[in-house]
Amino acid sequence: MRALHAVLNGEECLDSELSWLLTVSRVCEEYGCLPSHARFELENDPEQLAIRILPLRAYIRAKNIFDSAKSRMDLPVGDPIIDLVEENEFEIAAEGLGRNLDD
């Protein structure tokens, strides 16, 4: 559990078995399946779709949180995905303003 604790504190996971178990656990959590199903999916999908989709789903959740916030105070502090959503939101808005000024 010490290695797990270190990973939860943000340290790199150097234990391949722990890394595998955490990956299986994350897939179970995200897709609501048993570990045996997650393991099967991970071992039998050469495109690794379950893993590749995880960041998309996280971004979608963060965007929904951002969009539903009434103010900045409602947003989680120090969440890198929320920060990325906010950055993208402002960049897209600035691009839109630039296009409107050019018209």
User: pLDDT digit string (tens) for 37-50?
Assistant: 999 999 999 999 99
For the entire predicted model, the pTM comes to: 0.80
Q: Which of 81, 88, 38, 86 is nearest to 62 (CA)?
A: 81
Q: What is the pLDDT of residue 101?
A: 64
Please say whether the beta carbons of 29 and 56 come within 8 A. Answer: no
DSSP helix/strand/coil, 8: helix
Q: Which helix (H) or strand (E) holds 16?
A: helix 16-31
Q: How far apart are CA 32 and CA 9, in angstroms?
A: 25
CA distance 95 to 103: 13
